[in-house]
DNA sequence: ATGACCGACCATGTCGGA
């Protein structure tokens, strides 16, 4: 079967529900993972997703900020939410699709919103950066987020808030001291990827040294002209599933829509 | 300076994003 999975930091799901609908009608992924829903679970726009053909919804939200969600055409056999770093700050939700969904194997999907980390890349003076580093360490050691589990497929997607490779940013040299591309974050993210046995699906389609971005600052007067982007959003897959990937799309067009999110969707398709 | 912004909230400024 064909399975398409999308991830998008929507920066308020209530504000941009029409844009989500437009993306779903245009790309029709089987599952959509959202970050920064900024929405308590009881105010999540469920009815809109049901109408769009996504009646299966897993939420981990809270009032005002952060928050993640998975909406799906297929039912979930299980939903899990993990509190990283002992904070209850709505940064993770996982769903499992059973073989009943048409899959030869069960599939577990983790959806993450990794802490941004504040301005100053010093864990001694910036508690937000210390939190981000601790979160990445926990991601590397958390057994549930290991890809290599016999007999099942796994995906780890989301806004990981790190652009780990040299060509994941517009200027490697100029961003070495900028949170999201400092060497310690990049190393910790790459370590988590290795430790979990994950494959980078996006870079399998667009290897370095090609530039690859999913985020452009709101502050640039003309984001497309400046093109000072970063690859903060990621799709990782377990090895067998990565080998079954047939397509990867960065839906850049959404960045030009009216009142856009500063992140754009990433969509991966698998033939399994 | 990449940066001239953007969203939620018991709002009219503050916090967080990155």
pLDDT in tens, A159-213: 999 999 999 999 999 999 999 999 999 999 999 999 999 999 999 999 999 999 9
Q: What pLDDT sits at residue A52?
A: 97
CA angle A142, A143, A148 (to 5 degrees): 130
In the predicted model, what is the mean pLDDT of residues A22-47?
A: 97
The nucleotide closest to A175 (CA, C1' atoms) = B2
pLDDT at A56: 98
Strands A31-35, A2-9: pairing is parallel
Per-residue pLDDT at A19: 97
pLDDT recorded at residue A148 = 64
All structural domains of chain A, each given as residue ranges with its CATH number in brackets, are 2-271 (3.60.10.10)
Q: Which nt has its C1' nearest the CA of A260?
A: B6
Band (pLDDT 50/70/90 cuts) for residue A35 is very high
Q: What is the pLDDT of residue A100?
A: 61
Rounded to two decimals, the pTM is 0.97
A4 CA to B6 C1' in angstroms comes to 30
Q: How far is the CA of A64 from the C1' of B11 (A)?
A: 13
- Is there a contact between A53 and A27 (Cβ–Cβ < 8 Å)? no
Ramachandran region of residue A180, left (φ > 0), alpha (ψ -120 to 50) or beta? left
Nucleotide with smallest C1' distance to residue A128 CA: B16
Rounded to whole angstroms, the Cα distance separating A68 from A147 reads 20
Question: What is the per-residue pLDDT across A80-112, written as a single tens digit (0 to 9) for each?
Answer: 999 999 888 999 999 999 876 777 889 999 999
Res A104: pLDDT: 81
Omega prior to A209 cis, within 30 of 0:
yes
Residues in reach of strand B, judged by a CB distance below 7 angstroms, are: A 9, 11-12, 14-15, 36, 38-40, 63-66, 115-119, 128, 159, 161, 174-175, 178-180, 215, 217-221, 226, 228, 230, 232, 259, 262-263
Q: What CA–CA distance (Å, rounded) separates A132 from A185?
A: 8
């Amino acid at each position: 079967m064909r399975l398409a999975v999308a991830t998008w930091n929507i920066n308020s799901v209530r504000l941009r529900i029409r844009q989500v609908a437009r993306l779903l009608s245009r790309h029709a992924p089987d599952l959509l993972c959202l970050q920064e829903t900024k929405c308590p679970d009881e105010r999540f726009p469920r009815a809109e997703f049901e109408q769009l053909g996504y009646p299966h919804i897993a939420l981990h939200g809270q009032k005002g900020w952060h928050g993640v969600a998975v909406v799906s055409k297929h039912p979930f056999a299980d939903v899990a939410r993990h509190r990283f770093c002992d904070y209850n700050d709505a940064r993770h939700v996982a769903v499992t699709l059973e073989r009943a969904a048409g899959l030869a194997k069960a599939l577990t999907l983790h959806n993450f919103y990794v802490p941004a980390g504040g301005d100053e890349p010093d864990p001694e003076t910036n508690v937000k950066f210390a939190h981000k580093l601790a979160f990445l360490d926990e991601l590397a050691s958390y057994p549930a987020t290991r890809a290599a589990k016999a007999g099942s497929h796994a995906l780890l997607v989301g806004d990981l808030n790190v652009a780990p490779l040299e060509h994941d940013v517009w200027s490697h040299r100029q961003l070495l001291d900028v949170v999201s591309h400092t060497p310690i974050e990049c190393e910790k993210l790459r370590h988590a990827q290795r430790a979990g046995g994950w494959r980078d699906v996006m870079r399998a389609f667009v290897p370095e040294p090609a530039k690859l971005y999913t985020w452009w600052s709101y502050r640039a007067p003309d984001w497309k002209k400046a093109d000072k982007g970063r690859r903060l959003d990621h799709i990782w897959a377990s090895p067998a599933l990565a080998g079954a990937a047939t397509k990867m799309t960065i839906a850049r067009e959404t960045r030009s829509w009216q009142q856009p999110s500063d992140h754009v969707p990433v969509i991966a398709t698998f033939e399994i």
